Amino acid sequence: MFPRNSGTWFVFFLLISPTILYKAMSDEDRWAAKKKRMSDKVRKMFYHAYDNYMIYAFPHDELKPLTKTYTNSLVELGNLRLEHLPPEYNGSALTLIESLSSLVIMGNNTEFERAVLWLSENLTFDIDARINLFECNIRVLGGLVSAHILATDSTNRLVQGKYKKQLLNLAEDLGHRFLPAFDTPTGLPYAWINLKYGVMEHETTETSTSGCGSLILEMGVLSQLTGDPRFESAALRALRKLWSMRSSLNLLGTTLDVGTGEWLEYSSGIGAGVDSFYEYLVKAYIIFGRDEFWRMFQSAYLAVEKYFKHGSWYHEADMRTGQPTYLQLTSLQAFWPGLQVLVGDIAAANSSHREFFSVWERFGVLPERYLLDRQMLHPTEKYYPLRPELAESTFYLYHATKDPWYLEVGESIVNSLNSYTKVEGGFASIRDVTTMQLEDHQHSFFLAETCKYLYLLFDDSFLVDRNYIFTTEGHPFPVVSAWHERLPEAYIPTYWTDVRDERQAKRASPMSLQVCPATALKSGLGGEQVESACHIPDVRADHRCLVEKDCGVDATTCRRRSCSMAGYCGLWWA
Ligand SMILES: *[C@@H]1O[C@H](CO)[C@@H](O)[C@H](O)[C@H]1NC(C)=O
Ligand SMILES: *[C@@H]1O[C@H](CO)[C@@H](O)[C@H](O)[C@H]1NC(C)=O
Ligand SMILES: *[C@@H]1O[C@H](CO)[C@@H](O)[C@H](O)[C@H]1NC(C)=O
Ligand SMILES: *[C@@H]1O[C@H](CO)[C@@H](O)[C@H](O)[C@H]1NC(C)=O
């Protein structure tokens, strides 16, 4: 290897041959050029989806890209039989709400401002619409809360004075409309609620684990921002009740009855109906710093690895016996490697991510359900609705390892999306991955998540010096010590000064001042200090370790990372 900026070598090569000159361009430069090219490509994809939505569908909920029209789909989400559809509902600009944080991440402050002001004046939840609590929470409440935070942080994205917390007021209003759903004998919320009239008569009491267990981030942060504790307590009570229903193996089922607190479906896995329950335990721990969440997560994660893991795959099992039930890969499971990266289980994340990607390569996209035992597609669930999970995991793995192979995975995902799903009027879902027949629907999560994670894979400038957790819908929430119940033990500076050099010790020890100067934002959320918690990087960029000293302090949890048996620094073993 020759030094990159050596002029003498440069002239020498120039005389020899252009191919060698190309070789003299370091790998690093080539990857940087690829990242630039790819982030531009993803930006174009996002705007193709966004502009077509704005032209043909806004202020309705989602775009139908083939017929260039709209759907008022907020009332259809999770509503497979399309029951109780209100005739008068005209949409809530769902895709615009879902695009807000992506606009900020792509640096489009003017469009962000325009959207914020439109929503501030025109959005209302006083509508006769029966909505799915889980979907409305992650997409609408999460989208509004995250955009409020982005609108009021120190970066002055909005023209001074025009924004008066309207999005937070809207979110609070929505939060109030959620509360009657929790009024059940168990505290577990109904899956459905009418935004205007509350729980409807004869409403179904059936819901899912993710429906009860993935509310704590949005509702908890809403309580922190408004000072009204009711949102957080309702979500927390439901989560604790759900956890109390686990089996002796620490497994949960997939569906349950909110009236009786009994399981309806005992088989479960890490995919549909359960996925974000696991995700929110660890993310709630990071955002709120409560050991309770970490303890739940740790037991739940161990049980998953013990009973669901099948080679590099994950199957489903009966919560009572741990016996395998379905040997199926579902496309939603592909978020799991990303979650494993968050806890530092990088080797496991890498191996299951590779399996998901091999299925992606085989079909060109990820089919909804694939029968592992028979090595074939599920007969009916052959669709790919532009889901983000594989891109999301690829983003986490790349930033954890900096292995450029993940950039190539991202490029392949981008190329597939452009060649199979891009149409003149936006991006269309795929109905059948064997024929690549399209479906007339551009889901809002394509803008909130798929484009966002692909963009962040190639351009993470939004995340530099800042510390965010992404909700399950891809909306960023900052890690702010003011929201922590108490500082984690690892904040005690003497804990690590012996293992790091002085400069790093200084960087870390300001934790006793509760602020990390290297990563603090200039000023904070409504004047508070926003911090990026303490962060000491691992000694090696690829997080490999031989001894404990090779590991640093985790940026999001402030826990000491430690060296696993597999030779990776992680939170897990701390
Ligand atoms: C929805 O649109 C229809 C047709 O434009 C209109 O008659 C109706 O009043 C609207 N509903 C609401 C709730 O605004
Ligand atoms: C922001 O988005 C709008 C709408 O798509 C577009 O017209 C404008 O060029 C974008 N600005 C930047 C800086 O990307
Ligand atoms: C609210 O909606 C109306 C009708 O679409 C529009 O004319 C008005 O400009 C919107 N308000 C803002 C602040 O964008
Ligand atoms: C991921 O797995 C591949 C194939 O087994 C291996 O070559 C690579 O080094 C692994 N990367 C990490 C970060 O573990």
Q: What residue owns the CA closest to ligand 1's atom 5? A: 90
Q: What residue owns the CA closest to ligand 4's atom 1? A: 350
Q: Is residue 2 part of a domain?
A: no
pLDDT of residue 556: 55
For the record, the structure tokens of 30 come out as 């080539």
506 and 372 within one domain: yes
- Burial of residue 565 (CB within 10 Å: 0-12, 13-18, 19+) is exposed
570 and 468 within one domain: no
Helix (H/G/I), strand (E/B), else coil: 61: coil
150 and 195 within one domain: yes
Q: What residue owns the CA closest to ligand 3's atom 11? A: 118
Does ligand 1 lie within 6 Å of residue 121's CB atom? no
Residue by residue, pLDDT tens for the chain (574 residues) are: 333 333 333 333 334 444 555 565 788 899 999 999 999 999 999 999 999 999 999 999 999 999 999 999 998 888 877 787 887 899 999 999 999 999 999 999 999 999 999 999 999 999 999 999 999 999 999 999 999 999 998 777 776 678 899 999 999 999 999 999 999 999 999 999 999 999 999 999 999 999 999 999 999 999 999 999 999 999 999 999 999 999 999 999 999 999 999 999 999 999 989 999 999 999 998 888 888 998 999 899 989 988 998 888 899 999 999 999 988 889 999 999 999 888 878 888 999 999 999 999 999 999 999 988 888 899 889 999 999 999 999 999 998 888 999 999 999 999 999 999 999 999 999 999 999 999 999 999 999 999 999 999 999 999 876 778 999 999 999 887 778 765 444 433 332 333 333 333 333 322 223 333 333 333 333 333 333 334 566 777 777 788 888 887 765 555 677 787 767 777 654 3
Q: What residue owns the CA closest to ligand 3's atom 4? A: 122
- Best residue among 350, 354, 405 to mutate for probing ligand 4, ranked by most atoms within 8 Å of CB: 350
Q: Identify the domain containing residue 405 by its residue range.
A: 7-535
Q: Is residue 77 part of a domain?
A: yes
Task: Check if the beta carbon of residue 180 is closer than 8 Å to that of residue 193.
Answer: yes
pLDDT of residue 139: 98
- CA of 91 from ligand 1 middle (Å) equals 10
pLDDT of residue 562: 79
Measured in degrees and rounded to the nearest 5, phi and psi for residue 371 equal: -85, 110
* Among candidate residues 147, 157, 283, the one with its CA nearest the CA of residue 213: 283
Q: Is residue 1 part of a domain?
A: no
Helix (H/G/I), strand (E/B), else coil: 414: helix
Measured in degrees and rounded to the nearest 5, phi and psi for residue 554 equal: -65, 135
- CA of 61 from ligand 1 middle (Å) equals 14
Q: Is residue 460 part of a domain?
A: yes
- CA of 58 from ligand 4 middle (Å) equals 44
pLDDT of residue 569: 77
Does ligand 2 lie within 6 Å of residue 40's CB atom? no
494 and 413 within one domain: yes
Does ligand 1 lie within 6 Å of residue 502's CB atom? no
CATH of the domain at 205: 1.50.10.10
566 and 484 within one domain: no
- CA of 524 from ligand 3 middle (Å) equals 30
Tally of residues, the chain: 574
Tally of domains in the chain? 2
* Among candidate residues 389, 447, 427, the one with its CA nearest the CA of residue 94: 447
324 and 228 within one domain: yes
Chain-centroid distance, C-alpha 200 = 31
The DSSP output letter for 59 is: T
Distance CA 428, CA 417 (A): 9
Which residue in the block uniquely carries the two structure tokens 């592909």?
A: 334
549 and 416 within one domain: no
391 and 309 within one domain: yes
CA atoms 155, 158, 159, 162: torsion sign = negative
Q: What dihedral do alpha carbons 37, 42, 44, 48 form, nearest 10°?
A: 160
Distance CA 175, CA 222 (A): 8
Q: What element of type H or E holds 370?
A: strand 369-371
- CA of 118 from ligand 3 middle (Å) equals 6
Peptide bond preceding 59 in cis form (omega within 30 of 0): yes
568 and 500 within one domain: no
Q: Is residue 396 part of a domain?
A: yes
445 and 510 within one domain: yes
Q: Is residue 412 part of a domain?
A: yes
Catalytic residues: 135, 275, 368, 389
Q: Which ligand is nearest to the CA of 72?
A: 1
Does ligand 2 lie within 6 Å of residue 335's CB atom? no
Distance CA 300, CA 119 (A): 39
- Burial of residue 67 (CB within 10 Å: 0-12, 13-18, 19+) is exposed
240 and 309 within one domain: yes
Q: What residue owns the CA closest to ligand 3's atom 9? A: 118
- Best residue among 60, 72, 88 to mutate for probing ligand 1, ranked by most atoms within 8 Å of CB: 88
- CA of 48 from ligand 3 middle (Å) equals 23
Q: What is the 3-state secondary structure (H, E, C) of 440-478?
A: CCECHHHHHHHHHHHHHHHCCHHHCCCCEEECCCCCEEE
Task: Check if the beta carbon of residue 340 is closer than 8 Å to that of residue 349.
Answer: yes
pLDDT of residue 372: 83
479 and 357 within one domain: yes
Does ligand 4 lie within 6 Å of residue 350's CB atom? yes
